[in-house]
Amino acid sequence: MTKVALITGATSGFGKACAELLAKNGWNLVLCGRRQERLQELEAQLKNVSVYTAVCDVRNGSEVKQLIAGLPSSHAQIDLLLNNAGLALGLSPAYEADLVDWETMVDTNIKGLMYMTRAVLPSMVERGQGHIINMGSVAGSWPYPGANAYGATKAFVEQFSNNLRADVHGSGVRVSNVEPGLAESEFSVVRFQGDQQKADAVYEGTEPLTPEDIAKTVYWIATQPAHVNINRLEIMPVCQTWGPFAIHRKG
């Protein structure tokens, strides 16, 4: 039977690339994001599969509930929920960061992911099948200057994924956390509030991961045999690794 994947944040970057790869492999799709035009463009581009698009701001719990409750029967049984919608805002140290940015990251990366999970999971458990793949980040495990609230939201995603697994144990439902490092998408443009030059500088002289790399990873995780659960998968480009501890010296 044709599988159905629901992807949050399908209008750009990882979410869009995942939609394209899943469609290529015959999956029917529920695609959401806030930008309607982008959703329509993507729907028109994806041929031979059934695509249901919905404008949905994951920060709004009732919008999320309505979306799931109102899915047409053809798309109501979600086999794969890809909780991908998310963002980083700013790179300032915590003592200068904008509190509203922190709240937006918490509302999107944490609360939005919780709303969607809570809305979709009961049916998966009832049916004894389904897979939730959450989009974490290396920033959830490794601290770096300016990651403050963003990294902490992704640490939440990692632990929430582990705890979900503990809760669904015995049900057949799978939960995975993908943790990418440097990857070029609209991520940095969003982080720097539309400053394209600043965003480009992040990737200058590097060969970052691409959204297609992440889509292949997600697809591999989603197509493992039913008895296999990839708990977490951290992925970086070869050009990225860890630095030494920062030691502040007097004088």
Binding residues for ligand NDP, rule: CB under 6 A, are 8-15, 33-35, 38, 57-59, 84-87, 108, 112, 135, 137, 180, 182-183, 185-187, 190
Binding at 130: pick from ligand NDP, ligand 8X3, none (beta carbon under 5-8 Å per type): none
Looking at 64, 78, 139, 222, which residue binds ligand 8X3 (CB under 6 A)? 139
User: What's the rounded Cα separation, in Å, for the pair 150 and 222?
Assistant: 26
Question: Largest alpha-carbon pair distance within the chain?
Answer: 68
Nearest approach in angstroms of CB 154 to ligand 8X3 is: 6
150 catalytic residue (yes or no)? yes
Residue 161's nearest CA partner among 131, 191, 187, 128 is: 131
Q: Is 172 in the site for ligand 8X3 (CB under 6 A)?
A: no
Q: Is 155 in the site for ligand 8X3 (CB under 6 A)?
A: no
Q: Is 138 in the site for ligand 8X3 (CB under 6 A)?
A: yes
Q: Which residue has the tokens 């690794």?
A: 241
CB atoms within 10 A of CB 122: 10
Q: Of 32 and 121, which has the nearer Cβ to ligand NDP?
A: 32
Size, binding site for ligand 8X3 by CB under 6 A: 6
Which residues make Cβ contacts (< 8 Å) with residue 207, sequence separation at least 6?
237, 238, 239
Q: Of 11 and 148, which has the nearer Cβ to ligand 8X3?
A: 148
Residue 86 burial (C-beta neighbours within 10 Å; 0-12, 13-18, 19+): buried
Q: Is 42 in the site for ligand 8X3 (CB under 6 A)?
A: no
Give the tokens for residue 213: 């790399």
- List active site positions: 150
